[in-house]
Amino acid sequence: MRLTDAQWTDLLRVRATDPSAVTRAYAARRRRRSLLRPGRDTLFLVAADHPARGALAIGGDPLAMANRRSLLERLLTALANPEVDGVLASPDVVEELLLLDALHDKVVIGSMNRGGLAGATWEIDDRFTGYDAASIARYGLDGGKMLLRLVDDDPATAPTLESAAAAVSELADEGLLAMVEPLPYRRVDGKLELLKDSASLARAVTIASGLGTTSAYTWLKLPAALSPEPLEATTLPVVVLGGAPSNDPAQDLASWGAALRHPVVRGLVVGRALLYPPDGDVAAAVAAAAKTLQSVEANEDV
């Protein structure tokens, strides 16, 4: 879906001359009655919170997500598909989509901790620099998402754990979803490496499940390419994330479909793999992911 010159010019004008338009747009948004898709109890979200953490690269392009007009056009294309339930994004992106009138009747999850900048020496000390629980409630959003990277030999993991636990409790007090993304890492030659073995992932799941004063409103966001063991470690609802796109979109979809068949899994959250597909066809990538989710719901082969 093209973001026209007129829309872009108007967005820039409003940003410069009418900051209170953002507050009005939050208030005017039509909220969906149900978090899950009625009749199917599933959730399909597009994620766009990477830029706020300085994670801009796609493949060989280090600035792929830096072009804001391009990012917004891709998001508008994704949200135009009726199978997409909503978006997960940082405040700036949510507000731009609100000003573009793109979030009516969509689920909106606000990204909370973006302070662990990609590649920074303090990356694991992932400070809460985006939405907080109070603003998510005040602006009428549907929940908050937090990234929880666990590195056993990095003391910065501890304050992030504490902050995430507080956010889970505060969101629950507001009756709002807390989407926790627990990922175990280790440092190899100074760089973070995701641990993909079942034991590490299951341990991360159990740690995230116990955060806060209640787990009543907690959901987990987990990698799609999981063996069953980590998913067996919780009763909490899970959405699987597509992660960075590979050069084989068909294989990406197949791996998501396998995870989606587990009974604790309720849906899919995909960002770069849909917004920046290898062939550039965002609409087709979104449609293929939606078809994967529908096929699983219908118990068909993916």
The pLDDT of residue 114 is above 70: yes
Of the ranges 8-22, 160-174, 287-301, which one carries the lowest mean pLDDT score? Answer: 287-301
d(CA 177, CA 133): 10
Above 90 in pLDDT, residue 134?
A: yes
* Among candidate residues 123, 65, 62, 61, the one with its CA nearest the CA of residue 90: 65
- Whether the predicted pLDDT of 5 surpasses 90: yes
CA dihedral (269, 263, 148, 159) in degrees, to 10, reads 140
Q: Which pLDDT score, from 0 to 100, does residue 245 have? A: 52
> What is the C-alpha to C-alpha distance for residues 81 and 250, in angstroms, rounded to an integer?
20
- Whether 248 shows a pLDDT value over 70: the answer reads no
pLDDT above 60 (res 189): yes
- Nearest Cα neighbor of 148 from 130, 160, 166 is 160
Instruction: Give the DSSP per-residue string, 208-249.
Output: HHT-SS--TTEEEEEESS--HHHHTT--S-EEEE--S--S-H
> pLDDT confidence of 227, banded at 50, 70, 90?
confident
Per residue in 40-57, pLDDT (tens digit) is 899 999 999 999 999 999
> Which pLDDT score is estimated for 101?
97
Q: Find out whether 203 and 241 touch, Cβ atoms under 8 Å.
A: no
Model pLDDT, residue 257? 73
**Does the pLDDT of residue 301 top 60, yes or no?**
no
pLDDT the model gives residue 216: 98
**Pairwise pLDDT comparison (59 vs 213), residue with the higher score:** 213
Query: Does pLDDT of 19 surpass 70?
Result: yes
CB 232 within 8 A of CB 203: no
Half-sphere exposure of 201 (CA within 13 A, CB side): 18
Position 246 scores a pLDDT of 58
pLDDT at residue 249, as a whole number: 62
Length of the chain: 302
CATH fold of 5-113+134-148+219-297, please?
TIM Barrel (3.20.20)
* pLDDT, position 256: 75
Range of weakest confidence among 6-15, 68-77, 218-227: 218-227
The residue ranking higher by pLDDT, 59 or 34, is 34
For residue 243, pLDDT over 70 is answered with no
What is the average pLDDT across 149-177?
A: 97
From the number of C-beta atoms within 10 Å of its C-beta (0-12, 13-18, 19+), residue 147 rates as: buried
> CB-based contacts of 147: which residues, under 8 Å, 6+ apart?
113, 116, 126, 181, 183
Give the span between the Cα atoms of 264 and 124, in whole angstroms. 28
Least confident residue range of 64-73, 112-121, 150-159, 250-259:
250-259
Q: How confident is the model at residue 103 (pLDDT cuts 50, 70, 90)?
A: very high
Check whether 126 has a pLDDT greater than 70.
yes
CA atoms within 13 A on the CB side of 121: 0
Least confident of 23-27, 195-199, 241-245: 241-245
Predicted pLDDT of residue 252: 66
- Residue 232: C-alpha distances to residues 171, 206, 236, 248, 257 (Å): 25, 10, 10, 28, 17
Q: What is the pLDDT of residue 254?
A: 72
CB atoms within 10 A of CB 293: 22
Task: Locate 51 and state its tokens.
Answer: 């830029």
